[in-house]
Each structure stands twice: as structure tokens, then as C-alpha cells.
Amino acid sequence: MERSDFPVFYPIITRWMDNDIYGHVNNVTYYSYFDSVINRYLIEEGGLDIHNAPVVGFMVSSSCQFKKPVAYPDALEAGVRVARIGTRSVTYEVGIFMENDTQAAAHGELVHVFVDRATQSSTPIPPGIREALERITV
């Protein structure tokens, strides 16, 4: 994936603890990056109140393709876009880029299903969140 494939970017500050014994960011850490940037977008652009919203997104599927290693103290950026939006779910794509790199070092695909917080049952995506997701749908 290329930088130009993504409409929204967020900085990621790598931490010493992100590196594994092999000297690069551990694979599980990428999933934390993905979750953080997706939720940041939902909070800032979709108005998601993570503490009180009656509808929240549950991550039900995730995958990552690793293209090249990154390591602390690299400055990273995460590009976010929506590949598919349904009535109750959304498929995101996230690209992790080294600062000023045009090719993604890693690429993730993740699916949120929106659920009623009280009943834990799937429910339609709230209008404000849907509007935000539609803005970054490719």
C-alpha cells in the first residue's frame, strides 16, 4: 500500500518497549497501533464517547501483512481508510509508514461490528460515526 492510498494520517511515537529481542517493533504492537488510530478517528471525527456511548465498536477480525521492519526510535505515521461499510459493520485498512516513506512498512485489515453496549447485540452504526466513516471510504 502507498501513502497516497490513505486520506487520514496520525503520528505514532514508538516506545522502547515496542522493540522485541530481535531489535524491531514486535508484531503484536502493530495491532495496538491499529486500534489506537481507528479509535482516535472515531472519537475525533465521529463523536464516539468511549465511556458513555450506547453503541460501541467491537473488533471481530484483524490481520496484518508485514513488509519491512521498524524499530524504536523510528517516527511512524498511520494512514486510515474504510474499505467497506455495511449497516452494522465496517472494514478498515491501516497502513503503517516510516516518516516520509511512500510504501507501507505494514498493512492491516480490521473489522468492527457495532453493538449495543447494554445488550451486547449488533446494531446499526450510529449516524455521526457513519458520516465520519463515509468520508474516508475508498
**Residue 75, C-beta contacts closer than 8 angstroms, at least 6 positions apart:** 11, 12, 13, 14, 98, 99
Strand order in the sheet with 89-98: 8-13, 75-85, 89-98, 106-116, 55-66
pLDDT tens digits for range 55-68: 999 999 999 999 99
With respect to CATH, is domain 3-135 assigned 1.10.3210.10?
no
pTM of structure: 0.95
What confidence tens digit (pLDDT) does each residue in 89-134 have? Answer: 999 999 999 998 999 999 999 999 999 999 999 999 999 999 999 9
d(CA 1, CA 53): 33
Domain boundaries, given as residue ranges, for the chain: 3-135
